A and B are shown apart, each in its own frame.
Chain A
Amino acid sequence: MAKKSKSRTVAVRLISMAMTGYYRTMIRPRTHRPLSMLKYDPVVKKQVLFLEATKGGRNK
């Protein structure tokens, strides 16, 4: 039986760099580069940098 193919997209977690533990989940194409963006963190009540984190942190 053929191996089940991987989905085209992946769900990723963007972690707030303010070290508040706040994160957002987003969906990106599997082949896309890791996501990073400025977003609002309600804990520090400011717009801060959010970076994608994957298991083991092996992003290219």
Chain B
Amino acid sequence: MEPVIKGSISKNLPERLLRFFNRYPPEKYSSLVRPKPDPETTPTADSSTLPSPYIANRDAKGAHKEDPRAPSAARGLLWSRPNLPNPFLPRKIGKRWVGAEIGLRRQAELVKMAKKYNIEALLPPGRKSTEFKQTRLAERGLTVKGTGVGQKVKGHRWERTMETRLEDRRKAMMEMPETVRMWKQRGHGRGWKKWPKR
């Protein structure tokens, strides 16, 4: 993997990216050299693990909230070596948390720049990477309820019954010429038997 990594960094990159890669060489820090996430501890974003939209009061006060530290597919991407701490992630030293060496604003700028040169994979994994954002989006859905993978909302009654109503209407309109013919034949309603119920 190393020759590929080294080969893709050319001298044409902006000064800032070159400085970054000089300090954090991709062969040690990039998301390419990340070990495969353990499937037991990091679940993938599939519909079975998502919260059901049909559970009543899930947003209510006192309702069970999802643990923000629980392992997830998106969380599994944020990875750091103990001896080479990821500059994009905060780390714990003893009992104390130390902030990321490169803050979120600078991370976003670096990611944007790297995307422009198609070398985003050479950056260390972080919250601003496309991969992380996509995984998290699939996991949570948009902020609109029911738009995530395998999620749906109950909807209004008119939305739930729309399909059958349109089908009924379509069928009735298909039979309309025949109905009108029968109606005319039976003396414009004189011999009509099937009157609708109100």
- B50 CB within 8 Å of chain A: no
Query: Bound complex: CA of A34 vs CA of B189, how far in Å?
Result: 8
Question: Which one, A37, A46, A57, contacts B196 given CB within 8 A?
Answer: A57
Query: How many residues on B have C-beta within 8 angstroms of the other chain's C-beta atoms?
Result: 18
Contact status B172-A18, CB under 8 Å? yes
Best-buried of A13, A18, A43, A56 by chain B (most CB within 10 Å): A18
If A35-B189, A38-B180 touch, whether A18 touches B196 (CB-CB below 8 Å) is no
Near B by CB (< 8 A), chain A positions 3-19 give 13, 15, 17-19
Residue of B nearest to A16 (CB): B172
- B195 CB within 8 Å of chain A: yes
Please give, as numbers and ranges, the residues of chain A lying within 8 Å of B180 by CB-CB distance: 38, 48-49
Contact status A57-B195, CB under 8 Å? yes
Question: Which one, A20, A33, A48, contacts B189 given CB within 8 A?
Answer: A33
Question: Which one, B169, B179, B196, contacts A15 given CB within 8 A?
Answer: B196
Nearest CB on A from B108, distance (A): 51
Please give, as numbers and ranges, the residues of chain B lying within 8 Å of A48 by CB-CB distance: 173, 176, 180
Per-residue contact bits, chain B 151-194, to A (CB 8 Å; 1 contact, 0 not): 00000000000000100110111001001100100001110100
If A17-B176, A33-B189, A36-B183 touch, whether A53 touches B195 (CB-CB below 8 Å) is yes
Near B by CB (< 8 A), chain A positions 25-60 give 33-38, 43-44, 46, 48-49, 51-57, 59
Residues of chain B at the chain A interface (Cβ within 8 Å): 165, 168-169, 171-173, 176, 179-180, 183, 188-190, 192, 195-198
Residues of chain A at the chain B interface (Cβ within 8 Å): 13, 15, 17-20, 33-38, 43-44, 46, 48-49, 51-57, 59
Not counting A17-B176, A34-B195, a sample of 15 additional A-B residue pairs whose C-beta atoms are within 8 angstroms of each other reads: A13-B198, A17-B196, A19-B165, A19-B171, A36-B188, A36-B189, A36-B192, A46-B176, A48-B176, A49-B180, A51-B195, A53-B197, A54-B198, A56-B197, A56-B198
